[in-house]
Amino acid sequence: MIVGVVIVHGVGFVWRALLFLALAGSFTSTVYLALSLVATVRYLRRARAAQAAANATPASSVPPVTIFKPVHGMEEQLAADLESFFQQDYPDYEVIFGVRDMDNPAARIAEEVRARYPHVPSRVIVSGPPEWPNAKVFSLDKMIAASSRNYFIISDSDVRVAPDFLRNTIPPLLDPKVGLVTCLYRGIPASDFWSWLEALGLSVEMSSGVMVADMMEGMRFALGPAMAVRRDAIDAIGGIVAVADYYSDDFELGNRIWAKDYKVVLSHHIVLNVLTSRSPLRTLGDQLRWMKSTRYSRPAGHAGTGLTYAMPFGILGLIAAWLLGHPVLGIELFALACLNRMIQSAVVGWSVARDPRAIGLCWLYPLRDFLGFVAWAISYTSRDFYWRGEMYRFGKGGRIAPLERSGSSSK
């Protein structure tokens, strides 16, 4: 009987400890929501001023620009995404595509798009088999060498932009103190359920994290979908080769440029990240790759990210409080977590990313929040990841090494 009493008390202690953890997590996630809302107001205020400054910049004063587009493989809306960069309301720009070889199916799409816009200078650079761990950066090095211009756009293949993209992202670079401009993005889902969840994460979770980081310490990194950068800033870090060993080459590029006393500016302009239909396992794999990248490149920040999620603490609070005989408290903690994430989705997703789904599907965002936490937790279980048809392994500081490298094209 004594043993039974001890066990009961021990189990009770465990559930009380878990309830305390749920309460603490509910507090930290609520603080994070408050920071996200304050950061949203700050971003929108600055965005209005930046938009006015861009509108006031005369077309005669903007410099010639080269747009770099490393491409690989077939994506559902690749042609439309690439085409948007040929429709810029900008006086002087060129587009350079980068492929590993012309057998790359994306090379055919790029050639077809180029043929439809003969008035826009464009070409395809074939890099050959990559000699650096990051094949995209190896391709970029060849592309940069092929350009004689000093103002660049580096953008992923699955990004779509508005005709005023260049007119909004290039003007800040006219300030010699600014070395790089980076853009937030709105997720555009494919037709499947998992892509809708991922798109919500891009519009809400990503935007929240970036704005809070900008507010707390200033921009010290860049976002890969769309970056505007000057040649002198890249030269200052030793060339694009400086980020050749990293999966998060965008983060490293921005961070190294910032470390050279240039400003990194978060643009007011939003671009579109167009998703492709994928299986749940493929979607989870992509999430894990991103999570593992932050785990190795920013270990302290990645660990702290676990405290920003609301739903795992709401679910834990519901279970622990219920088993301790406080069902009302459990329901309140769960409801608070759901409300927390719904507010974040509606406010950040709509007002910043301008994603109408963030309001209409705000009830779905708590699920996205929970799955994000699951990916965060699993990210601590392995160093290996799958990327563009090849296997890699993360090392110290976020460096990567290919475990196998196919002979096929890779971005």
pLDDT band at 10 (very low <50, low <70, confident <90, very high): low
Average pLDDT over the chain reads 93
The tokens for 56 are 């006031």
Burial label, 259 (beta-carbon count in 10 A; 0-12, 13-18, 19+): exposed
Give the amino acid at 319.
I
The CATH number linked to 71 is: 3.90.550.10
Number of residues in the chain: 411
Of 136, 110, 135, nearest to 123 by C-alpha is 110
The answer to whether residues 113 and 82 touch, using CB atoms and an 8 Å cutoff, is yes
For 351, the domain range is 1-411
pLDDT at 7 over 80: no
Comparing 150 with 396, the larger pLDDT belongs to 150
Of 329, 96, 288, nearest to 198 by C-alpha is 288
As a whole number, mean pLDDT of residues 394-403 equals 88
pLDDT for residue 325:
95
Tens of pLDDT, residue by residue over 133-187, are 999 999 999 999 999 999 999 999 999 999 999 999 999 999 999 999 999 999 9
pLDDT for residue 391:
87
pLDDT at 410 over 50: no
pLDDT at 38 over 90: yes
pLDDT for residue 11:
58
pLDDT band at 405 (very low <50, low <70, confident <90, very high): low
pLDDT at 12 over 90: no
pLDDT at 6 over 60: no
The mean-pLDDT minimum among 19-28, 293-302, 400-409 falls in 400-409
- Burial of 190-218, coded b for 16+ CB within 10 Å and e otherwise, reads bebebbbbbbbbbbbbbbbbbbbbbbeee
Radius of gyration of the chain (CA): 23
As a whole number, mean pLDDT of residues 358-379 equals 96
pLDDT band at 119 (very low <50, low <70, confident <90, very high): very high
pLDDT band at 103 (very low <50, low <70, confident <90, very high): confident
pLDDT band at 397 (very low <50, low <70, confident <90, very high): confident
pLDDT at 28 over 90: yes
Q: Which region holds residue 276: left if phi is over 0, alpha if psi is between -120 and 50, else beta?
A: beta
Tens of pLDDT, residue by residue over 47-66, are 999 999 999 999 999 999 99
The mean-pLDDT minimum among 77-86, 372-381, 397-406 falls in 397-406
Distance between CA atoms of residues 76 and 282, nearest Å: 16
pLDDT at 392 over 80: yes
pLDDT for residue 143:
98
Domain count, the chain: 1
pTM of the full structure: 0.92
